[in-house]
Every structure is written in C-alpha cells, then in structure tokens.
Amino acid sequence: MWKRILIGFFLCASILTFSTVSNASGGTTPNTEIKSGVNIDKSKYEVLNPEKRAYTSKDRVTFVNGKAPSGTKITIKVYGTTDLTRKNFDLHTLPKADDYIESYTDQVISGNMGFFDKQLRLVSGINKIILNFNVEGVPNVEIIVFVQSSMTKNAEQVRLSDILNITK
C-alpha cells in the first residue's frame, strides 16, 4: 500500500515539474510602437559608442557605432563651433543652435549583422553629432563632444609642472 502511494506521489510530482508556464502580453511591449499597422521596436535602434551623450575629449577623432536592423540607412550630421567670441563654451554653457556650423553629413548603412560604425573628425571646441535612423517613430540621437585644444593641453602641463616645482 505504501509503495503505491509513494509511486503515485512521485508520478504526480514529475508531471507537475515538466509542465511549462507562459504569460501572454496584451499586444505591444513598452519599446514597441504601432504606426499605421507597422510595429517599430525601438530597442533595435541604439548607439553603443560613445556611451555618454555629452563628454570631453582631447582627441579630435572619435568613433561612433551602434546597431540597427540590416540595411537601415543612418544619417550622421556633424556640427562644430569654436569659441571665437570668448563666451567660454564648455559642457555647462553650450552654444545656441545658430552658433553651430555644419562640418559634414554622411550616410552609413548597417551591415548584415545589424551594426554600423563611422570614424568622425571633429573640430577643437564644441561638436554636436546627430544620428538619424530615418525611421518614423525612432528619435534622433544627439551627442555633444567638447574637444580641448592643444593650447589647453599645454596650459595643463605648465600648471602641473608649476605645482611640482612649488612642492619641492
């Protein structure tokens, strides 16, 4: 009798452990948008590098890459401004939209694996990079890069050497 009860218990436990559980969603996910009957998954359009949307660099060359569905045309526009007006532009005091000058525009097509990349040459000062995925419902990505000029690098070296001489 105990053997039959024990076998029945193990049989029920094994049936319950092999069952699958699934949850159905109500239709769209938070990153999916329905426009005129077409689902747009915004998570498929992403800029991977640079990770920050505003940063300072000493290099005038930067690398932009990301992911988009295969065959997507991504338009990259680079705007730059130098501080000729002595307004002391930096990441806290950005220039107005009228102060930017378009450096160049380029178009990149995402590859078979769904990735794109582009090397960009920037000017000394504030640079604005705008990536447009050319898909309705996907917002443009704007990246601000402050490129320090070579004079700033030399000034930092002088300041550091002055501090070292004072401490000796």
pLDDT tens, per residue, the chain with 168 residues: 888 888 887 777 777 776 565 555 555 555 555 445 467 778 889 999 888 888 988 888 999 999 999 999 999 999 988 766 556 676 777 778 877 888 889 999 999 998 999 999 998 888 899 999 988 888 899 999 988 876 544 455 555 555 555 555
> Is 4 a domain residue?
no
| Residue 61 lies inside a defined structural domain of this protein | yes
Q: Is residue 88 part of a domain?
A: yes
| Segments forming the whole domain that contains residue 83 | 42-157
Residue 28 lies in a domain: no
**Other Cβ atoms within 10 Å of 101 Cβ, number:** 10
* Token pair 């932009």: residue: 64
**pTM across the whole model:** 0.64
Whether 7 maps to a domain, the answer reads: no
Could you tell me if residue 9 is inside a domain? no
Q: What is the largest CA-CA distance in the chain?
A: 96
The answer to whether residue 147 sits within a structural domain is: yes
Residue 108: what pLDDT?
92
Residue 31 lies in a domain: no
CA neighbor of 129 nearest in space, from 75, 85, 165 = 75
Structural domains of the chain, count = 1
CB atoms within 10 A of CB 59: 10
Could you tell me the CATH number of the domain that includes residue 150? 2.60.40.1930
Q: What is the helix (H) or strand (E) element at residue 167, kind and residue range?
A: helix 150-167
Res 34: pLDDT: 47
